[in-house]
Amino acid sequence: MATSDVNDAPASKKIKLDDKNGDKINDEHDDNLVKTLSDFKLEKILSNNSNRKTICIQGSFPGKDGIALLIFEKKSFTDTEFNNDDGYLTENSVLKYVFKNDVYYSYECFPDLVLSGLKTTIIYPATEKHIQKFSQQNIHLVNETVDLYNKITLPHIQKEQFSLDWVYNILDHKSESERIVFEDSDPNIGFILLPDLKWDGKTLETLYLVGIVHCKGLKSLRDLNDSHLPLLRNIYTKGVKAIEDTYNLPASQLRIYLHYQPSFYHLHVHFTYLKYDAPGIFTEKSHLLTNVISNIELIGDYYQRVTLPFVVRENDNLFKKFETEKILKPCPN
């Protein structure tokens, strides 16, 4: 079992990280941006979600130009953390007594530091669009007819969208190549399956992978027609098999879906554990891949004809464009 020091942490906070899962501990990695957060200058808290136990803060690093977003997420428990010698049920879990009433004893538990890691994402340099995306704000439902798509949404996507560099880095094996779970390199029906940025890659209870297609130019659900059925069926069949082989989870325990609108306009499919309420699984945002395939099998140009609902944030320029057109009606006519 490899161990590693988090060397730049203050002595009082130095912890031994135990490489139980054979993972590399990445603090010495060339791509690492920072080793501690002591220099992070907080500007404001953009959102604080007590249900998801996530917080997003805006700030900067001295000597580094531009804005940084820091996203913390408290992790879920895993069953193994209760079966391991170095899990929660050890002398390292210090209990602080709070009170007793009848048979009810209340404590605060301070477990081993290794168990209290926070999933942490830093976006740097962050753009105005990233700040909008992570800011707490009202959301609205839009019923997007094909005409509205062509008149408002499509020109908006063509004008302003998040960079797809991270997607191309994955497809070109320049980033995250060691995280790839499965690849079919066929240029027409192939894809790469890998852990989503939001997943720690280990906790099965929150399993979240993303399948990114190799072919370029497919922006979203709206572009799909019967010529893409081989691609969609391939993603379903091979994605399911790769997850079954790697994580021992059958297709019946997976939620496989596309977002509309997606954040990133290069076609990708989400694979999450069915029991996990992953962000963005609600009816106004997610479309099951099996439904998508079935709709296209029935009507080849279904997604070029159907009215699609989607949720838009109030600060998003897309919302402002729909609002200007005064077409935010609950029911299309």
**Catalytic site residues?**
268
**Residue number with CB closer to ligand G7M (151 or 285):** 285
Among 130, 234, 259, 296, interactor with ligand G7M by CB under 6 A: 259
* 214 touches 172 (CB < 8 A): no
Q: Strand pairing of 41-49 and 16-19?
A: unpaired
String marking each residue 41-80 x if it binds ligand G7M according to CB under 6 A: ----------------------------------------
Residue 118 CB-half CA count within 13 A: 14
Which residue stretch of 95-103, 223-231, 257-265, 314-322 sits at the interface with ligand G7M (rule: CB under 6 A)?
Answer: 257-265
Residue 247 engages ligand G7M in binding (rule: CB under 6 A): no
263 binds ligand G7M (CB under 6 A): yes
- Which C-beta is closer to ligand G7M: that of 166 or that of 182? 166
239 sits near ligand G7M (criterion: CB under 6 A): no
Cβ proximity to ligand G7M: between 78 and 175 the closer is 175
Query: What three-state secondary structure class fits 151?
Result: helix
**DSSP per-residue letters across 231-299:** HHHHHHHHHHHHHHHHH---GGGEEEEEESS-SSSS-EEEEEETTS--TT-STTTEEEHHHHHHHHHH-
Q: Are 114 and 15 in contact (CB under 8 A)?
A: yes
Residue 264 makes contact with ligand G7M by CB under 6 A: yes
| Residue 87 in the binding site for ligand G7M (CB under 6 A) | no
- State the Cα–Cα distance between residues 63 and 85, nearest whole angstrom: 43
Helices (H), 60-202: 80-83, 128-134, 146-148, 154-159, 165-171
Residue closest to 211 by CA, chosen among 182, 252, 179, 251: 182
Distance CA 26, CA 47 (A): 27
The tokens for 269 are 């499919």
> Residue 210, interface with ligand G7M (CB under 6 A)?
yes
User: Longest Cα pair distance anywhere in the chain, in angstroms?
Assistant: 67
Q: Quote the least distance from Cβ 167 to ligand G7M, whole Å.
A: 8
CB 77 within 8 A of CB 140: no
Site string for ligand G7M, 140-179 (x = CB under 6 A): --------------------------x---------x---
Subset of 274-293 contacting ligand G7M (CB under 6 A): 280
- Contact between 197 and ligand G7M by CB under 6 A: the answer reads yes
Question: Which of 133, 198, 228, 255 is the binder for ligand G7M (CB under 6 A)?
Answer: 198
Binding segment (CB under 6 A) for ligand G7M, from list 4-12, 70-78, 260-268, 299-307: 260-268
The distance of closest approach from Cβ of residue 169 to ligand G7M in the complex, given in angstroms and rounded to an integer, is 8
Half-sphere exposure of 40 (CA within 13 A, CB side): 21
Q: How far is the CB of 195 from ligand G7M (least distance, A)?
A: 6
Q: How far is the CB of 41 from ligand G7M (least distance, A)?
A: 24
Which residues form the interface with ligand G7M (CB under 6 A)?
A: 166, 176, 194, 196-198, 210, 259, 262-264, 280
